[in-house]
Amino acid sequence: MLEDSFFKQTPPKSTGREYFNLTWLKQFSIENILPIDIQATLTELTAQSILNAIQPHFFTGEILICGGGIHNKFLLQRLCEYGSAYSIESTEKYGIHPDWVEAVAFAWLAKQTLAKQHGNLIAVTGAKQTSILGGVYYT
């Protein structure tokens, strides 16, 4: 699974269910594998892919976990085991509840748009220039 072309792409990159879905999974001939083993394998894939993406850039440091991943104790155990050179922490450590990070990010983007300030970082998004993201329409 780690040989998938997505994992070989250079950052910035992003994907989700539109790519990693049941159709993607079926290419690995999962018909005779127990669901619990499939889930364990996907959790291992998640932990390994996270660390594989971080390790070329940082040998040690802190990895902040948020969203649904913070509630997956098995995923956190695997990250701690594979990433023993890192401190695996919740974003709660910095005062942002792990379930609120996405909402906080969108609130910040809205603030930037209302202030007519750019909301993207070229180094992160790969964009050619900074831009005001979104629009405000009044009726």
- In this predicted structure, what is the pLDDT of residue 107? 96
User: How far is it, in rounded angstroms, from Cα 80 to Cα 21?
Assistant: 26
∠ CA 86-103-124, rounded to 5°: 55
- In this predicted structure, what is the pLDDT of residue 10? 87
112-135 pLDDT, tens digit each? 999 999 999 988 888 899 999 999
User: How far is it, in rounded angstroms, from Cα 67 to Cα 50?
Assistant: 14
Give the distance, in angstroms, between the CA of residue 87 and the centroid of all CA atoms in the same chain. Answer: 17
The length of the chain is 139
Kindly report which listed range (4-8, 109-113, 123-127) carries the lowest average pLDDT score.
123-127
- In this predicted structure, what is the pLDDT of residue 126? 82
Residue 27 · residue 1 · CB < 8 Å: no
User: How far is it, in rounded angstroms, from Cα 1 to Cα 7?
Assistant: 9
* CA 47 vs CA 2, 81, 105, 108: distances in Å: 11, 9, 24, 28
Mean pLDDT, rounded, for 90-96:
97
Query: Residue 24's pLDDT band (boundaries 50, 70, 90)?
Result: very high
Secondary structure (3-state) at 88:
strand
28-74 pLDDT, tens digit each? 999 999 999 999 999 999 999 999 999 999 999 999 999 999 999 99
